[in-house]
Amino acid sequence: MEIMIETKNLTKHYKNKTVVSELDMKVTKGSIYGFLGSNGAGKSTTMKMLLGLIRPAQGQIQIFGKPLQGKMRLEILKNTGSLIESPSYYGHLSGRENLEIICTLKNAPKREIDEVLKLVRMENQQHKKAGQYSLGMKQRLGLAAALLGHPRLLLLDEPTNGLDPSGIQEMRELICALPKRTGMTVLVSSHLLSEIDQMATHVGIIDQGHLIFQDSLAVLHEHSQSKLHLRTTDTAAALAELQRNHIPAEEKEGTIILRDTSDRTVTCAIRHLVYAGIGILRAEEIQMSLEDIFLKLTGKKVSL
Amino acid sequence: MTGVIRQLQAERYKAKRRHSWAVVTALCLFLLLWSAFNFRNADSRELAQGYSTLFYQLPLFNTILLPLGLSVIASRLCDWEIKGNTLKLLCTLQRKGAFYDCKLLIGLGYLFVIALAETVSIAGIGILFRFTQTLEIHMLFLHFLQVFAAGTAIYLLQQTLSLLCENQLAPLGVGLAGSFIGLFSLYFPTQVSRLILWSYFCQFTPLAMDWDRASREISFYPTAFPLGLFLGFLAVIIGMYALGKFLFLRKEI
């Protein structure tokens, strides 16, 4: 699988504080890489380093297999679109005029403006001054600017920040459609777990500058250990019976919780309870939510 | 289109609807009217040294007006980048140093027009008021050089401040203060006034003034062009450019 972004040992300090620490990131071609972390975790700093906007204290960055440094930087970034933090725009110019500036700098043909305006559904507002746009429209204009020149890689930093629910939904659909429609790779950061869950194919979780998880979304879901919740006619007796037979179990709010859900343990537990004359009212397998996984990995709550 | 031309083209697009030329035109008109106003009741003696009067007075007017005018131009050219948060996008599309240079080129373009308009207006006023003094072309050239060199130094300072400051009030304040400091520095001995950047609109004039207390008449006499000082000033401009660019490149976005 072709690697589009690879960082090794990427570190950034601000004064005495380490904001990003020894980050090893790998983004594969055609993926939507969800870069997840709470506010201040180091997402924006990492993305700015990936664009060469700030210098890392140490470590290497390779984009499209080439080191991001010196004269190569702009050559690499020609094939990259970005939307970092708040959108960039010239308020005194119309949306179309804003795109004309980007088109000129990217040396992209002007006809692409119509293509990207259609893609972000802004054809009707293109002649309005960007300063009069809502935040959602400014974000879409930023995305349109990032899409000019058919980049192979798109870096989006919290693109749904400040959008209303319908705007979030629209932006999400747009991002999800990009790899299929254009074959581009997307790196999208967010502090919203549900957002990454709905968009990404791969996930990197950053916490206090450390990349604590990186793999496909499916693997992240595999981290979810299931538990068996049992409701019995006599909770205390049931717990004692299970412990007497060396089956690990705990009691919480009148429910017996079995952490080992292998077939052998479940069979064994139920057999012992039935033989002991304890009635089983309900048996329910509970999957760990993505939020629980995040909490387990970071020890912190995350927005949903 | 080459990279530089593309970047200058982008700057031209950005200037749309910002009426930067209006500032330049207003500045030129004000300087022209102020200069011409002094000759409305000129007698034959004044007309006989009309050009010398202009070559001596215009640098003073420039000291008062240009620091503020150039700070307004620099601020207008840089403000839309700061307000629109565009630096983080632009720096992925062009070299940060090239961006600084393009802004400088555009700003110096405006300054060039101001200096040229002022130089041409000297000849224009002379024709309009029928000066009897002969116009020396080398004086026109030296005047242009003085306005452009001193203006370049001031513009470099203002552009760097405008790009480094989030709030444009600070650079505008420096421009305003510069006008006052430059003017008042001329009351101090030359050794002191030469330490003040804003005084340099008046430092290279190859003319001196003599005021006769008894007849209450002013006469001008030529002096040598301070070539050494001028070359030293050019070195300061190069230093200011290097420092300004370094500070801007160091600024993290």
Q: With beta carbons under 8 A apart, name residues in chain B contacting A89.
A: 84-86
Contact A88/B94, CB-based, under 8 Å? no
Q: Which residues of A touch B14 (CB under 8 A)?
A: 90, 93, 101
CB-CB under 8 Å, A85 with B92: no
Decide: A163 and A135 in contact? Cβ < 8 Å: yes
What stretches in chain B show pLDDT beneath 50?
A: none
Q: State whether A107 and B90 contact (CB < 8 Å).
A: no
Between A266 and B2, the more confident residue is A266
Residue A45 corresponds to which tokens in the numbers above? Answer: 């700093």
Interface test with B, best of A20, A53, A73, A155 (most B CBs within 10 A): A53
Strands A185-190 and A32-36: parallel
Helix (H) or strand (E) holding B219: strand B217-222
Looking at the complex, report in whole angstroms how far the Cα of residue A258 sits from the nearest Cα belonging to chain B: 52
* Residues A246-254: contacts with CB under 8 Å, at least 24 apart: A247/A272
Mutate to test the interface with B, among A50, A69, A88, A98 (most CBs of B within 10 A): A88
Please compute the mean of the pLDDT values over residues A10-14 and round it to a whole number. 94
Give the bridge partners for A207, in sequence order: A210
Packing angle of the helix pair A111-119, A135-147 (nearest 10 deg): 130
pLDDT above 90 as % of chain A: 58
Residues of A in contact with B84 (CB under 8 A): 88-91, 130
Compute chain B's Rg from CA coordinates: 20
> Which residue, A284, A285, A259, A283, is CA-closest to A271?
A283
- Pick the most confident of A42-51, A79-88, A117-126: A42-51
> Do A227-286 and A3-222 fall under one CATH topology?
no
| Rounded Cα gap, residues A265 and A259, in angstroms | 10
Predicted local confidence at residue A290, as pLDDT: 67
Partners of B12 on chain A (C-beta within 8 Å) are none
Provide the 8-state DSSP code for B225. -
With 50 as the cut, is the pLDDT of residue A304 above it? no
Task: Map residue B220 onto helix, strand or coil.
Answer: strand
pLDDT at res. A224? 66
The answer on pLDDT for A258 being more than 80 is: yes
**Does residue A50 have a pLDDT over 50?**
yes
Is B95 exposed, middle or buried (CB count within 10 Å of its CB: 0-12, 13-18, 19+)?
Answer: middle
Indicate the average pLDDT of chain A.
Answer: 89
pLDDT of A1 > 80? The answer is no
Task: State yes or no: pLDDT of A301 exceeds 60.
Answer: no
d(C-alpha A248, C-alpha A260), whole Å: 7
Q: Chain B residues contacting A, CB < 8 Å?
A: 1, 6-7, 9-10, 13-14, 16-18, 80, 83-95, 252-253
Fold category of A3-222 in CATH: Rossmann fold (3.40.50)
The pLDDT score that the predictor gives to residue A47 is 95
**Neighbour count for residue B211 (Cβ, 10 Å):** 9
Stretch A31-48: mean pLDDT: 92
Q: Does the distance separating the beta carbons of A105 and B86 come in below 8 Å?
A: no
ipTM of this complex > 0.95? no
Q: Give the CA angle between residues B79, B82, B85 to the nearest 5°.
A: 140
Distance (Å, whole) CA A182 – CA A173: 14
DSSP chain A: --EEEEEEEEEEEETTEEEEEEE--EEETT-EEEEE--TTSSHHHHHHHHTTSS--SEEEEEETTEE--TTHHHHHHTTEEEE-SSPP--TTSBHHHHHHHHHHHHT--THHHHHHHHHTT-GGGTTSBGGGS-HHHHHHHHHHHHHTT--SEEEEESTTTT--HHHHHHHHHHHHHHHHHH--EEEEEESBHHHHHHH-SEEEEEETTEEEEEEEHHHHHHT---EEEEEES-HHHHHHHHHHTT---EEETTEEEES---HHHHHHHHHHHHHTT--EEEEEEEPPPHHHHHHHHHSS--B-
Burial call A116-137: b when 16+ CB within 10 Å, e when fewer: bbebbebeebbeebbeebeebb
Q: Which residues of A59-96 are buried (b: 16+ CB within 10 A; e: fewer)?
A: bebbbbeeebeeeebbebbeebbbbbebbbbbebbbbb
Are A88 and B83 an interchain contact pair (Cβ–Cβ within 8 Å)?
no
pLDDT tens-digit series, residues B12-54: 999 988 888 899 999 999 999 998 988 888 888 889 999 999 9
Q: Which residues from A are below 8 Å from B80, CB to CB?
A: 90-92
Please report residues of B whose CB lies closer than 8 A to that of A92: 16-18, 80
Q: How far is A77 from chain B (nearest CA, A)?
A: 6
Whether residue A102 and residue B93 make contact (CB cut-off 8 A), yes or no, is yes
Domain regions of chain A by residue span: 3-222, 227-286
CA distance B163 to chain A (A): 16
At A66 the pLDDT is: 93
Closest to A17 (Cα-Cα) out of A48, A45, A37: A45
Select from B10, B87, B88 the Cβ nearest to the Cβ of A104: B10
Cβ neighbours of A130 in B, within 8 Å: 84
Residues of B within 8 A of A53 (CB-CB) are: 88, 91-92, 252-253
- Give A120-160 pLDDT, tens digit per residue: 888 999 999 999 998 888 989 999 999 999 999 999 999 88
Which tokens belong to B97? Answer: 């140093």
Residues forming beta bridges with residue A82, ordered by sequence position: A155
- Test A82 with B89 for CB contact under 8 angstroms: yes
Q: For helices B169-185 and B50-83, give the axis angle rounded to 10 degrees.
A: 160
Residue A302 pLDDT exceeds 60: no
Tokens of residue A275, six digits:
């033989």
Among candidate residues A296, A168, A175, A172, the one with its CA nearest the CA of residue A227: A296
Tokens read off for A58: 């140490």
pLDDT for position B212: 84
Distance between CA A63 and CA B95 in Å, rounded?
18
Which residues are within 8 A (CB) of B66 and not within 5 positions of it... i.e. 6 or more apart? Answer: B27, B114, B147, B150, B151, B154, B201
Would you say residue A27 has pLDDT above 80? yes
Note the CATH architecture for domain A227-286.
2-Layer Sandwich (3.30)
What pLDDT is stored for residue A182 in this prediction? 82
Q: What is the pLDDT of residue B211?
A: 85
In the predicted structure, residue A288 carries a pLDDT above the cut 80: no
Question: What pTM does this model have?
Answer: 0.83
Residue numbers of A between 126 and 155 with CB closer than 8 Å to B? 130, 142, 145
Q: Which residues pair with B211 in a beta bridge?
A: B218
Element (H, E) at B8: helix B3-14
